[in-house]
Amino acid sequence: MTKISVEPVVAPSPVRRQGLRLWLTVAAAVVALAAGGFVTFRLTSTMPAPQIKQTLPQTYTIPGAAPVLPWPQAGQATVEIDGLGRVGSSGGSRPVPIASVTKVMTAYLILRDHPLRLDENGPTLTVSAEEAAAYPAQLASGQSVVQVVAGEVLTERQALEALLLPSANNVAHILARWDAGSSDAFVTKMNQAAAQLGMANTKYTDPSGLAATTVSTADDQVTLARVAMQVPVLAQIVAMSKVTLPVVGQVENVNTQLGKDGLVGIKTGFTDEAGGCLLFAADFSAEGQRFRVIGAVLAPGPSPADAFEASRRLIQASTGLLHKYKVVHAGEVVATLRGPTGRSTTLAATGDVDVVGWPGLTYRIDTVGALPGRIAAGTGAGTLKYTALATAATTAVQATDALEPPSWWERITHG
């Protein structure tokens, strides 16, 4: 028969019970402190700002067939509406001689290195004996030059006027020497500037364009023209029909088409190798706004008259391209506004948005805003913007419903 032994249960001693209670008290206190710290952190920490999610696409392209301009049958041409974008081009992208169109880069660099105000003549430069002695031979060779004499003092503005109006080759070299110490050093700067502007198919070998080895494309020259015409003094000078210089007296702009069809510049060019060339800008009105067409024609024919005629046709066609298109109506929902805990409302345009352009032109669409945590219905919550190059059409957007900030419980339960 199996014996079962029963041992008495010994109760914890008063000392052990006291230690257990102390341990449990400490643990509870630690948990309470941790929980309190967590709650305090969540309640006092900054919640993420509401986020805008655009419901419109990222871009808008004006529908329809892209325009076909009256491109010249020969040579190259490019047309751009300033601030909107390129309309098109013809003739490929093979670098070709550009003759005196080169002088736009020369003038741009001079004014970059030695800026002038519209009412300022600037520093002076003195014609050297060597530069004056070269004039008779330059003239005899049929170059476009202005008379200079040793010791003649020209202001920077006068030199730029001689460069850009009568298209003086000799003054291009005088300016290059004044700016960089020599024509070769200046040409290095010209090519550096071309690279910085993204003119990948351009190579300058002289500051005047007489050398047939100075080559570029219509596309590259329009890129330069857009930047150059943002320099107020340069834009002012190329729009002048005549000026008076110290020695030679009054000289006229070789761009005989100034003022016709809104033409405000920029630079003619002609050599046997380059044919007729024109880098042009013309101002016009469309849809109640002012615009500028910028273009280049290179060798549409052998003479300057061919370049003038090709440019005239392109300008006249370009001024009829622009029309207004309604892309957003007032009240249209364009985005969603979502708070950090998932609450959301929609954003609606407060006004219509109209863009100006031509079929095929693309606008980028952005909805942006600096948003508080609490937004009442009808409160402005940002801006809707359609952008093409440097032109923007905008309207404010507002919340269609209220977006309340997170409650205290949501602040605790959402990270």
CA-CA-CA-CA torsion sign (98, 104, 105, 106): positive
Q: What is the pLDDT of residue 380?
A: 79
Taking only the tens of pLDDT, the chain with its 415 residues reads 555 555 555 555 665 667 666 676 655 555 555 545 444 544 445 556 678 899 999 999 999 999 999 999 999 999 999 999 999 999 999 999 999 999 999 999 999 999 999 999 999 999 999 999 999 999 999 999 999 999 999 999 999 999 999 999 999 999 999 999 999 999 999 999 999 999 999 999 999 999 999 999 999 999 999 999 999 999 999 999 999 999 999 999 999 999 999 999 999 999 999 999 999 999 999 999 999 999 999 999 999 999 999 999 999 999 999 999 999 999 999 999 887 676 788 999 999 999 999 999 999 999 987 666 567 777 777 899 999 989 999 999 999 887 655 544 444 455 5
Q: What is the pLDDT of residue 377?
A: 76
Hey, is 399 helix, strand or coil? strand
Burial 245-271 (b: 16+ CB within 10 A, else e): beebeebebbbebbeebbbbbbbbbbb
Q: What is the pLDDT of residue 376?
A: 78
Q: What is the pLDDT of residue 7?
A: 57
> Alpha-carbon dihedral of residues 175, 176, 182, 188, nearest 10 degrees?
170
324 catalytic, yes or no?
no
45 catalytic, yes or no?
no
285 catalytic, yes or no?
no
Q: Which of 90, 100, 208, 311 is catalytic?
A: 100
215: nearest Cα among 203, 227, 225: 203
pTM confidence score? 0.84
Length of the chain counted residue by residue: 415
| Six-digit token string for 118 | 């519209």
By the 8 A CB rule, do 98 and 129 touch? no
| Six-digit token string for 340 | 């950090």
| Six-digit token string for 249 | 């007296």
Which residue blocks in 255-399 are alpha helix, DSSP H? 304-318
Q: What is the pLDDT of residue 43?
A: 43
Residue 40 identity: T
Q: What is the pLDDT of residue 237?
A: 99
The answer for 175, left when phi > 0, alpha when psi is -120 to 50, beta otherwise, is: alpha
Q: What is the pLDDT of residue 4?
A: 52
State how far the Cα of 104 lies from the Cα of 126, in Å rounded to an integer: 22
Which positions make up the binding site for substrate? 267
| Six-digit token string for 316 | 């006249």
Q: Which of 144, 167, 208, 318 is catalytic?
A: 167
Burial of 78 (0-12, 13-18, 19+ CB in 10 A): buried
